[in-house]
Amino acid sequence: MKTIFLAVFICLFQNSSCFLPPKFQWKVIDFTWANQSRKAAIDSGLYVAENNMPTGLARRREKVFVTIPRWKRGVPSSLNYIYVNGSQQQPLNPYPSWADAVLSDKDGGISSNSTVVSTFRVHADRCDRLWVVDNGVTDMSMDVKQVADPAIVIFDLNTDKLLHRYIMGHDVLRESSVLTSIVVDIGKNCSDAFAYIPDMGSNAIIVYSLRTNEAWRVDHHYFHFDPHAGTYKVGGVHFYWSDGVSSVALSQTRKDGYRDLYFHPTSSTKQFKMSTKLLKNKNVPSEDIFNGVAVVGDRGANSQATACDFDHQSKILFYTQLCKNGVGCWNTEKLFTAENNPVIISDCNLLEFPNDVKVDQEGNIWILSNRQSRFLYESMDFDQVNFRILTAPVSAVVQGTPCERTTVFGKALSFVKRNKSGSKQSLTN
């Protein structure tokens, strides 16, 4: 009884502290039906409202990109955006346009090279480009169809024009490939860029060089799932996943000129890293790669994560916490211990199945939750809110937690604060 009371109290306290209310939320996803008639789209099967579940987001200036994989039939557009200043339940706008977003009515493939067939997550880089990894498949959950080659699709966010579509070759992919996210490493200038793409389905990281326009595959046994961390319970649904490496994030540049790539398999509680020195050179001996991956540490029981992102300002790594309905963090300047990996926000309703987390260039954290376990394994109640996007300044969400930076001054300040806020603070610690 006491524990339940305490849990409820912590939940209430955390709710009131920083995030609420959700910036955007939907019972069901709808679109701006500019030219097409909504009714015609429903009648033709182009749009099946209840089959649209968003899985990823990225904020850039006035837009928040929202991705919807073509998991089931009736997803009219996989890559979309909404306006930061728009209403809480606003309909989604296909990106870059309706004409590009829909599949070709001739052959069911891409309508143009700007078409994104199915993507989980995207990355907005500091050179005003949007990087999308397109799996090229439809009907993933039923009768999967490869309607286009998997590709990296890059847009110029200033003009909303396609910069490049890179078709991934069979040499880097496998039958079981599932490309779940993408992160971009920019060097001296914007053309000196590498993308790192985890292949969750075949346990690899695919590296793409923009300058040379080629991709290669990196394998490692740490990219595989941990059989001891494959069971989940989210939203009252029990399930078992054997998902490999699914999410990666880049540190700041180190003294040697390279970054660390932080990564984790979904079904794992461990955090790993490797230097981009091993990734950027496609001729690195496999022995060097074998020896070059480090275990950073273990986050503890039930700490499986889907997505992660690194905040270059605060040097904090944020990651979703599936079984804890929340988001955790680690300040990379501190030791990787369980205490230094707190869950900073958790809510069994608002954050049921947190599926993406991003930090934008203005220092705000963005979180998307989508009740995915109900969508895939049970059924959704479309009279309830199912999909939410929450946001808050990073500084506000880490305040008073072990992720906050500790300068000498900060230490003194947090001591004063801690003493002031008294019992509340001791509850959350």
Ligand X SMILES: *[C@@H]1O[C@H](CO)[C@@H](O)[C@H](O)[C@H]1NC(C)=O
Kindly tell me which of 91 and 292 has the beta carbon lying closer to ligand X.
91
Strands (E), 98-203: 122-124, 129-134, 137-138, 145-146, 151-156, 161-167, 183-186, 193-199
Count of residues engaged in binding ligand X, rule: CB under 6 A? 16
* Beta carbon nearer to ligand X, 3 or 35: 35
Q: Which positions from 106 through 125 interact with ligand X, judged by CB under 6 A?
A: 110, 112-113
Q: Check the CA dihedral 320-302-55-278 and report its sign.
A: positive
Question: By the 8 A CB rule, do 31 and 92 touch?
Answer: yes
Question: For tokens 């019972």, what's the residue?
Answer: 27
Task: Decide whether 83 or 382 has the Cβ nearer to ligand X.
Answer: 83
- CA distances (Å), origin 110, targets 32, 104, 118, 170, 288: 21, 6, 11, 19, 39
Q: Is residue 192 within 8 Å of residue 186, measured between CB atoms?
A: yes
Q: What angle do CA 194, 200, 205 make, to 5 degrees?
A: 30
Shortest separation between residue 42's beta carbon and ligand X, angstroms: 18
Whichever of 189 and 379 has its CB closer to ligand X, that residue is 189
CA distances from 168 to 206, 275, 359 (A): 10, 23, 28
Q: Which helix (H) or strand (E) holds 61?
A: none
**Out of 35, 212, 423, 426, which residue is the one contacting ligand X (CB under 6 A)?**
35
Distance CA 289, CA 188 (A): 24
**Shortest CA distance to 355 belongs to which of 123, 178, 139, 181?**
181
| Secondary structure of residue 237 in the 3-state scheme | strand
Which residue in 6, 99, 412, 427 binds ligand X (CB under 6 A)? 99
Least distance to ligand X, CB of residue 193, Å: 10
Under rule CB under 6 A, which residues in 74-93 are in contact with ligand X? 83, 85
Q: How far is the CB of 233 from ligand X (least distance, A)?
A: 39
In SS3 terms, 376-390 reads as: HHCCCCCCCCCEEEE
H or E element in which residue 217 lies: strand 214-219
Q: How many CB atoms lie within 10 A of CB 127?
A: 14
Asked if 419 is part of the footprint of ligand X (rule: CB under 6 A), the reply reads yes
The CB-of-419 to ligand X minimum distance in angstroms stands at: 4
Is position 317 an interface residue for ligand X (rule: CB under 6 A)?
A: no
Stretch that binds ligand X, among 15-23, 44-52, 186-194, 247-255 (CB under 6 A): 186-194
Q: Is 102 in the site for ligand X (CB under 6 A)?
A: no
Site for ligand X in 187-206 (CB under 6 A): 188-189, 191-192
Check binding of 37 to ligand X (CB under 6 A).
no
Shortest spacing between CB 211 and ligand X, in angstroms:
7
CB closer to ligand X, 192 vs 214: 192
Considering the complex, state which of residue 290 and residue 415 has its C-beta at the smaller distance from ligand X: 415
Establish if 98 lies at the interface with ligand X (CB under 6 A). yes
Q: How far is the CB of 66 from ligand X (least distance, A)?
A: 16
Which range binds ligand X by CB under 6 A, 64-72, 105-113, 230-238, 278-286?
105-113
What residues line the site for ligand X (CB under 6 A)? Answer: 34-35, 62, 83, 85, 97-99, 110, 112-113, 188-189, 191-192, 419
